[in-house]
Amino acid sequence: MNTATTPVPAFDQQGEQSDEVRVDAAMRSFVSEFGVTAALHMESCVRCGLCAQACHFHIATGDAKYTPIYKLEPFRRAYLREASPFAPLVRALGLVRKPSITDLQHWQELLYDSCNMCGRCTVVCPMGIDIAELVKEARHGMFKAGLVPDRLALMDRAARQWGSTATPGEDLPDILAEVSAEHGVAIPCDLAAADILVTAAPAELGEHTKALADAAKILNRIGAKWTMHQGGFDASNIGFNNGDLELQEKLTRALIDTAVKIGAKTVILPECGHAYGAARWEAAKWYGEALPVRIIHMTEFLDELIASQQIRVNRIGETVTFHDPCQIVRRGGLEAAARRVLAALGFELIELKDHGVTGYCCGGGGGVVSNQRATPLRYQVFEMKKQQVEATGAKRFVTSCGQCRITLEMGAKHANWDKPAESLLELVADNLAD
């Protein structure tokens, strides 16, 4: 092999620990994940390659290294050596090599830059292996080893200090006051008692403040007693993406404990996919029992308001196509709600070739959109979505995830594409009937 022309894999590392300590930390974390379900998944792979044909990174590049199951190779080795039925024999005979620091450094790109944990590979696996979940578990070990992309590590530190990647909680009242003044809508903050706790994604506190204002507009229209709160306001949960379990728990508890403190029975999540996974589907494991509050996504909330006739919307009467956010639809099961809202708005829906549970990811989920070095790869993936949207001929293009919207906006700008991704929430708010 001509090493002069072999690309050097991109990796970052945090902390000053030795390579040996990093590997040991990753291995301990990997092994801790091998319960019955993970072990069955590790034993079940038949190397059929179907997951490769499902992965947008593999399809866009044609590079075999992006085969989803291959991204788990160090994780698989740890299982075979430490937790499989024949682990003592595997170690004694040297049948499987222990992951090295070079392996972990190389696999950082595969686990963080080229995987959105979107789960499309999971859907097609004939053996039912949840590859996306295993990648998330492998990221736990990478975080323990201090082998996370620097941009994500920076966001992790901010969230640990502030409770949000966007802003300290103490600045929230001022931010909401500015959004309120800009958009002419009342946004309550830090009420001592409320029925609903509303949360945000970082972009809604920055460049996409209209989404936050529109949520307020709808809540005020129905006369809800609601609030945002410094104690728990950012639902995006960078710990979920990074593999930082301690932070993931802290951020989740901040939302739920704040809701309990003010007597709220419902927590509304923003248009954010990974917020849905972290708060809706993983929150219960931090409590060990049924959650004391109901947690719903903004799309569910809009669907319920329209169905119960608490709000009415004007009919737009144009063609539209819809991007299904992976964590909300494929991983979260919320496929029909958005389509009912679109129907209420009078849209003629023209589905993408791949939609619903088989839809392609935007390419930015799982922290990839925040991981700057993954940008060229993400743009390659964007082309697939762009082509599918154009093939529909639909006049408008809508999604129900703010992170997807940001990813699609960045891709469109790079490609000089004039099809903006629109927010389902904002469409509802802009078309409220009197």
pLDDT tens digits, 218-233? 999 999 999 999 999 9
Coil/strand/helix, residue 325: coil
Q: Based on the fold, state whether residues 107 and 219 are members of the same structural domain.
A: no
pLDDT beyond 60 at 2: no
Contact 275, 295 (CB under 8 A): no
- pLDDT, position 289: 85
Q: How crowded is residue 89: how many other Cβ atoms within 10 Å of its Cβ?
A: 10
pLDDT beyond 90 at 65: yes
Contact 103, 72 (CB under 8 A): no
Q: Mean pLDDT over residues 212-219, rounded?
A: 98
Q: Mean pLDDT over residues 342-362, rounded?
A: 97
Q: Based on the fold, state whether residues 326 and 269 are members of the same structural domain.
A: no
Q: Based on the fold, state whether residues 329 and 341 are members of the same structural domain.
A: yes
Q: Based on the fold, state whether residues 160 and 296 are members of the same structural domain.
A: yes
Q: Based on the fold, state whether residues 115 and 201 are members of the same structural domain.
A: no
Task: Give 360-403 pLDDT, tens digit per residue.
Answer: 999 999 999 999 999 999 999 999 999 999 999 999 999 999 99
Provide the percentage of residues in the chain whose pLDDT is more than 70: 98
Closest CA to 145 of 48, 322, 14, 321: 14
Q: Has residue 379 been placed in a domain?
A: yes
pLDDT beyond 90 at 4: no
pLDDT beyond 50 at 1: no
Please say which residue of 304, 319, 349 terminates a domain: 304
pLDDT beyond 70 at 428: yes
Determine how β-strand 319-323 pairs with β-strand 294-297: unpaired
Q: How many domains does the chain have?
A: 3
Q: Based on the fold, state whether residues 179 and 251 are members of the same structural domain.
A: yes
**Mean pLDDT across the chain:** 95
Q: Has residue 338 been placed in a domain?
A: yes
Q: Report the Cα–Cα distance between both ends of the chain, in Å, rounded.
A: 70
Task: Give 5-47 pLDDT, tens digit per residue.
Answer: 445 567 999 999 999 999 999 999 999 999 989 999 999 999 9
Q: In this structure, what CATH number is given to the domain that contains residue 314?
A: 3.40.50
pLDDT beyond 50 at 3: no
Please tell me the distance from the alpha carbon of residue 67 to that of residue 281, in angstroms, as a whole number: 27
Q: Mean pLDDT over residues 51-59, rounded?
A: 97
Closest CA to 308 of 316, 298, 317, 300: 300
Please tell me the distance from the alpha carbon of residue 406 to that of residue 412, in angstroms, as a whole number: 10
Q: Decide which of 142 and 434 is more confident.
A: 142
Q: Based on the fold, state whether residues 77 and 189 are members of the same structural domain.
A: no
Q: Has residue 2 been placed in a domain?
A: no
Identify the weakest region by mean pLDDT among 8-22, 110-124, 170-184: 8-22
Please say which residue of 256, 287, 304 terminates a domain: 304
- pLDDT, position 385: 96
pLDDT beyond 90 at 81: yes
Task: Look up residue 304 and give its two tokens.
Answer: 């319920």
Q: Has residue 12 been placed in a domain?
A: no
Question: Residue 288 — very low, low, confident or very high, per pLDDT cuts 50/70/90?
Answer: confident
Give the residue numbers spanning the domain of 28.
19-147
Q: In this structure, what CATH number is given to the domain that contains residue 121?
A: 1.10.1060
Q: Has residue 114 been placed in a domain?
A: yes
Element (H, E) at 198: strand 196-198
Q: How deeply is 92 buried, as exposed, middle or buried, from its count of CB atoms within 10 A (0-12, 13-18, 19+)?
A: exposed
Q: Has residue 180 been placed in a domain?
A: yes
Q: Has residue 196 been placed in a domain?
A: yes
- pLDDT, position 7: 52
Exposure string of 20-34, with b = 16+ CB inside 10 Å and e = fewer, is: eebbebbbebbeebb
Task: Look up residue 72 and give its two tokens.
Answer: 């788990």
Q: Mean pLDDT over residues 93-98, rounded?
A: 95
Q: Based on the fold, state whether residues 270 and 321 are members of the same structural domain.
A: no
